[in-house]
Amino acid sequence: MPSVPAALKTPDKLQQAALPIVSTAECKEFWGSKITDVMICAGASGVSSCMGDSGGPLVCQKDGAWTLAGIVSWGSGVCSTSTPAVYSRVTALMPWVQQILEAN
Task: Give the E-state strand segments of the chain in sequence order.
Answer: 21-22, 39-43, 57-62, 65-74, 84-89
Number of domains in the chain: 1
Please report whether residue 76 resides in a domain: yes
Please report whether residue 31 resides in a domain: yes
Q: What pLDDT does 67 receive? A: 95
Please report whether residue 60 resides in a domain: yes
Q: What pLDDT does 38 receive? A: 97
Please report whether residue 2 resides in a domain: no
Please report whether residue 8 resides in a domain: no
pLDDT by residue for the chain (104 residues), tens digit each? Answer: 566 666 567 888 988 999 999 999 999 999 999 999 999 999 998 988 988 899 999 999 989 999 999 999 999 989 899 999 999 999 999 999 999 999 99
Do residues 42 and 20 make contact, with C-beta atoms less than 8 angstroms apart?
yes
Q: What pLDDT does 15 receive? A: 87
CATH of the domain at 52: 2.40.10.10
Q: What pTM did the predictor assign?
A: 0.86
Please report whether residue 69 resides in a domain: yes
Kindly report the length of the chain.
104
* Residue 70: domain span: 19-103
Please report whether residue 37 resides in a domain: yes
Q: What pLDDT does 52 receive? A: 86
